[in-house]
Amino acid sequence: MSIDVIELRNFYASPLGTVARRLVTKAVERIWPHAYGQTVLGLGYATPYLASLHASADRVIAFMPCAQGVIAWPRPTLNATALVEETALPLQIGSVDRIIIAHALETADSPQALMEEAWRVLTPGGKVIIIVPNRRGLWTRMDTTPFGQGQPFSRSQLSSLLQASLFAPETWGEALYIPPVPRPLALRSAVAWERIGAGLSLPFAGVHVLEAVKQLYRPVSARKTATSRRLSPALMPASSMQHTHHSDSH
Residue 235 forms part of a structural domain: no
Global pTM? 0.85
Determine, yes or no, domain membership for 169. yes
Given a contact cutoff of 8 angstroms between Cβ atoms, the answer to whether 45 and 20 are in contact is no
Residue 34 has a pLDDT of 94
CATH assignment at residue 128: 3.40.50.150
Taking only the tens place, the pLDDT of each residue in 118-163 is 999 999 999 999 999 999 999 999 889 999 999 999 999 999 999 9
Q: Is residue 234 part of a domain?
A: no
Q: Identify whether 49 is part of a domain.
A: yes
**Residue 249: inside a domain, yes or no?**
no
DSSP 57: S
Asked if the model's pLDDT at residue 198 lies above 60, the reply is yes
Q: Is 167 exposed, middle or buried (0-12, 13-18, 19+ CB in 10 A)?
A: buried
Share of the chain above pLDDT 90, in %: 74
Say if 147 falls within a structural domain.
yes
Residue 68's pLDDT is 96
Number of domains forming the structure of the chain: 1
Give the DSSP letter of residue 216.
S
Distance CA 250, CA 247 (A): 5
Asked whether residue 81 is assigned to any structural domain, the reply reads yes
Distance of alpha carbon 176 from alpha carbon 55, whole angstroms: 25
Q: How far is CA 199 from the centre of its chain?
A: 24
Q: Is residue 239 part of a domain?
A: no
- Residue 38 belongs to what domain range? 5-219
